[in-house]
Structure 1
């Protein structure tokens, strides 16, 4: 779906075509899901879809970005545990904002990008051990 996937927030223009970047936004303990000896956390990732805003035909720019977001939402919803590496994707926001996307623009160098910024909330059990 993407011409380029980055495991970090870009600091320079990501190039042409659809690009997806993913990075950590925050980590917070979840008291209601933690026990006396281990802490469950909400690991919130930011994902961002980039497409140069001057991509032709320009009428397709929003369609392409929205379609990419839809594909990502389907993937995160369909693989609820991301291959059993997490407890679940907090799709509906039981422990904070749920899976979502906000649309806007970002400028790098002389290029304006149409972007969609995703909030991807992940619940991870037993991340930290509490010792007495």
Structure 2
């Protein structure tokens, strides 16, 4: 079986678009700063075997995606920046919990970290092209069944 990464990324992008919270949704880490509102960007962070989740002749994989939410740090009211980002984050976390198999594309979203780090988000700041942004970066761990054959 081959990794159908484009379809998986499309499904994750669809969750972000369906939420209605984002001015833009990118399937890559942007090279230039977001222009307005909240921007969402999705890209591959890590892939490897799902330890303890593979069979005797097939290796299942843990595919971790980054889903980053960006908002300009200089905007008014400043007190609304984090609540707006957290509202968008909450919608995505709910979507990942509710669509546990991404429509059958993966075995599961590893919500609780059975095969590594769990679904989580980290807040921070990012400097891009001279502008500073408040960001929330989600680690979205996906378990993909029987991705690679094990042969002697």
Cα shift at 1:88: 0.3
Report what 1:53 is aligned to.
73
Tell me whether 1:64 sits opposite 2:84 in the alignment.
yes
How many residues end up aligned between the 2 structures? 132
Residue deviations 1:17-38, cap 9 Å, x none?
1100010011010231112221
**Alignment RMSD, CA only?**
1.0
2:114 paired residue among 90, 94, 113? 94
The answer (yes or no) to whether the contact 2:52–2:115 under 8 Å persists in 1 is no
Whole-Å separation in 1 of the counterparts to 2:22 and 2:130:
22
The two structures have a TM-score, normalised by structure 1, of: 0.96
2:52 paired residue among 10, 18, 32? 32
More strand by share: 1
Whole-Å separation in 1 of the counterparts to 2:133 and 2:24:
15
Tell me whether 1:75 sits opposite 2:75 in the alignment.
no
Report what 2:10 is aligned to.
none
SS at match of 1:69: helix
Residue deviations 1:36-66, cap 9 Å, x none?
2211010001110000011211110011111
Whole-Å separation in 1 of the counterparts to 2:60 and 2:135:
31
Report what 1:104 is aligned to.
124
Q: Which sections of structure 2, spanning at least 5 residues, go unmatched?
A: 1-20
Classify 1:126/1:105 alpha carbon distance in 2 versus 1 (closer, same or farther; 3 Å). same
Whole-Å separation in 2 of the counterparts to 1:3 and 1:99:
24
Whole-Å separation in 1 of the counterparts to 2:37 and 2:118:
28
Cα shift at 1:110: 2.2
